[in-house]
Structure 1
Amino acid sequence: MPEPRLRIDGQAQTFVAADDRGLAYGDGVFRTLAIDNGQVVARVFQYERLAHDCAALDIRGPSAAWLDAELGQLIEAGDTGVAKITVTRGSGGRGYTPPVPARPRVIIAFTPGMPTPPDTLALDIAATRLACQPLFAGVKHLNRLEQVWARREAGASAAPDLAMTDTQGRLVATTMRNLLFMDPAGLWHTPGLARCGIAGATRARLMQAAEQAGRPVVEVDIHAASIADFCAAIACNSIGGAIAVSRIGENRFEHSPAMARRAAAWLAATA
């Protein structure tokens, strides 16, 4: 994998301070962006989600204009790859109490080259479960140990991904993707994220496109027993787009390829 190009707080740097609160406590947020031909894919959606997450943690986030300028220092015309924006509360003293006032730190990385996503996903369910914490539900904060452990599970079985439930047995997402489902009537559903999980930018794009098409996506609690109510499923994120899910556990989905094609068309229209 190529070495990432890095900027930290508006400077070409490769190291952060040892007392950074993102490093010490996970006190920050991040977003992963697809870069196509030198441009941020779904720029408005990505910046909106980053601003939302910064506000949720009461961190002063960077402006869109500043992000554009910084990304322009790293990304050349024609570049394709993956960018990551990390915003921490900055440096702080010993202990959990946040510094007041805080001086947020912004780390931007760009890695050339786009990973190739799988054509379909067959998902087993991870033993690692997501803890319920409504205060931070939907926020892509830096505390991602549950996903790290679930990715360790996936690696042990050579699985490209795993579905994840919360501690009450509700289906939430995969280790790195949001999930959407279609029922036999053609209605789309997605796991509700009021208790845990990440509200991804690609999920938001699909939900907006469905709304504009007159078929709003319904947010619901999906338990293991209700997975069989659906005939199609897709998993989505900003880097891989929408991928057909052939099964989750023992439940198979016959119409996932058609659902994935519809989702891909909607994403192409909102890039």
Structure 2
Amino acid sequence: MFLINGTEQQYLAVNDRAMQFGDGCFTTARIIDGQIQFASAHLRRLQLACERLFIPFTDWQLLAQEMASLSQGRKDGVVKAIITRGAGGRGYSAANCVTPTRIVSVAAKPAHYARWQQEGVTLALSEIRLGRNPALAGIKHLNRLEQVLIRAGLEQTTADEALVLDSDGWVIECCAANIFWRQGNNVYTPRLDQAGVDGIMRQYCLRQLASSSFDVVEVNARQDALEQADEVIICNALMPVVPVRQWAEQHWAARDLYHFLAPLCEHIN
């Protein structure tokens, strides 16, 4: 089901900036027993993205109400909210765009995440690298062609997810998840000030680790850092946390970090 500016429909104007330029942002949240997990954090994410993209969206209470309304009565699912700059004239200038478009939709939660949690996942190194751009780093904007290409490459392998580097060769994330790795008591996750998405679950995991017995650090690291790791996990708002069992010739059986975070990431509002 889709709501576009509060009306149930599935058609967007061809001159909407999302269609023309991918000009907008989005967030995807998990529904548990009719409630949106991390609802306020997802709205803050959209607010930050709109500020960074100079999109003058102000109907935050209305958007929250629409997201909540579509989530009611669903035991487990996904709600997605998109904000575009709205309809405008030809060309890159946003001077004539005064009314942003809001889109809300719901869907079933991906069924394979439960199996991933039990079995762990395998990673394949992506040949596609993320461009470095601090103006867009961290936010979830609508320009997802890099992820589309990463996913296309992943589907040519037998792996479950992709290990993604940026154009300078630093480990950044997976195709649709953030990544953490543990070496002893130290937990590492990539810095995302130049590329990648600062996911809601990543932010939550960082807060939980900061008050734990683990020492957590955001780093610039090459892929060989994973070769030294005792454990690797990936996360996003829907998974929410999944262990990695293999990447290339590396195999991981340890689950210390996973067993610490997994119970903390369920049934949170």
TM over 0.5: yes
Alignment of 1:60-139 (within 5 A): 60-100=56-96, 102-117=98-113, 118-119=116-117, 120-139=120-139
TM-score under structure 2 normalisation? Answer: 0.92
Which region of structure 1 is more displaced relative to structure 2, 80-89 or 66-75? 66-75
For residue 36 of structure 1, what is the aligned residue in structure 2? 32
Q: Residue 6 of structure 2 aligns with which residue?
A: 10
The yes-or-no answer on 1:180 pairing with 2:180 is: yes
Alpha-carbon separation, structure 2, partners of 1:224 and 1:39:
38
Q: CA deviation at 1:12?
A: 1.6
Mapped partners of 2:178, 2:162: distance in 1: 11
Q: Whole-Å Cα distance in 1 between the matches of residues 206 and 105 of structure 2? A: 28
Measure the CA separation in 2 of the matches of 1:174 and 1:216: 22
Q: Distance in 2 between matches of 1:214 and 1:85?
A: 36
1:172-251 correspondence runs (5 A): 172-184=172-184, 186-213=185-212, 215=214, 217-251=216-250
Give the whole-Å Cα distance in 2 for the aligned partners of 1:106 and 1:34.
19
Cα deviation for residue 23 of structure 1 reads 1.3
Cα distance in 2 for partners of 1:63, 1:208 equals 29
Shift of 1:215: 4.3
Q: Which residue of 2 aligns with 1:57?
A: 53
Q: Please give the alpha-carbon distance, in whole angstroms, between the structure 2 residues aligned to 1:217 and 1:27.
A: 34
Alpha-carbon distance in 2 for matches of 1:61, 1:116: 35
Distance in 2 between residues matched to 1:230 and 1:102, nearest whole Å: 50
Cα offset, 1:270, TM superposition: 4.2
Please say if residues 5 and 101 of structure 2, whose CA atoms lie closer than 8 Å, have aligned partners that are also in contact.
yes
Indicate if the aligned counterparts of 2:87 and 2:97 stay in contact, CA closer than 8 A.
no
Unaligned runs of 5+ in 2: none
CA deviations over 1:139-177 (Å, ceiling 9, x no partner): 110111111011111112243211111111111111100
Q: How far does residue 68 in structure 1 lie from its aligned partner after superposition?
A: 2.8
* Shift in Å, 1:188: 1.4
Q: Which residue of 1 aligns with 2:265?
A: 267
8 Å contact 2:124–2:157 — kept in the other structure? no
Distance 1:44 1:213 in 2: 24
Residue type of the alignment partner of 2:222: H
Q: Which amino acid aligns with 2:231?
A: A
Which stretch has the larger CA shift, 81-90 or 108-117?
108-117
RMSD of aligned alpha carbons: 1.8
Whole-Å Cα distance in 1 between the matches of residues 194 and 152 of structure 2?
24
In 2 relative to 1, CA 103–216 (structure 1 residues): closer, same or farther, beyond 3 Å? farther
Cα deviation, residue 114, structure 1: 4.4
Contact conserved, 1:164 with 1:172, CA < 8 A, in 2?
yes
The SS at the match of 1:124 is strand
TM value normalised by structure 1 = 0.91
Match for 1:161: what amino acid?
E
CA–CA distance in 2 between the matches of 1:260 and 1:43?
A: 24
Q: Are residue 164 (structure 1) and residue 160 (structure 2) matched? A: no
Q: Distance in 1 between matches of 2:163 and 2:93?
A: 35
Residue type at the aligned position of 1:213: S
Q: How many residues align?
A: 265
1:171-226 deviations in Å (ceiling 9; x for gaps) = 11111000011111x12110010110000000011111112336453110110232
